[in-house]
Structure 1
């Protein structure tokens, strides 16, 4: 971040960190976890303005402020899209949140972008060839 001083207006980090949390005595895991790790990261990284997080699979209805850093998170699997609108002043370096919203995305309300769909379909075709390969057989 020190290398970016004077070269950028805001520093924004997109992270996806953490380990699955144990959810039962049976040892099952789930990726859902609290935002504690993200809060810790925001408090330790000086000069970071905005931290957009993943892995917690928890949406933040409002940005969380930790020191001078805003933490934002949408839910998981493309369920929500977040929109952040800021008011920014260069001198002194400061910004305020004008608006933040999480918008839930319903599959039946959106049409796929044809170019994006073509790329995804191409990768799925390649992936299907790999996934369908037999790698071992067992008599059991």
Structure 2
């Protein structure tokens, strides 16, 4: 896995050799310390593959998860949510599962810490997902990216 630093407000991408999803964290601009903001993470899913949704049955596939790593910039301030999933019968598990194909968008509400100095900061984000192509399911993967945040006075 390779995380690329953001330049000039560009999104931060995670490139993972052999991965079925390319993850991007959208930059947040003009955020004030102590404020609540929303981090948006987008996944572009390779053709022919799907990832499982945020909510899954206990005996089902690994659910999609997005979380903040411990850091000095922000803390989670609510539950993560995602774009609408498609509910379809999954032959790999033998029942209906929520999935995402082509693309998925996740949001994580966070509270910026008080007293942050103006300038660029990075909020570390972890994404865990499982993907299948209708024939095989890959083991769950964990990807680490950073969401760029521009702190203003």
TM-score (normalizing by structure 2): 0.26
Choose 1 or 2 for highest CA Rg.
1
Larger fraction in strand: 2
Larger fraction in helix: 1
Instruction: Pick 1 or 2: higher relative contact order, CA cutoff 8 A, min separation 6.
Output: 2
TM-score (normalizing by structure 1): 0.28
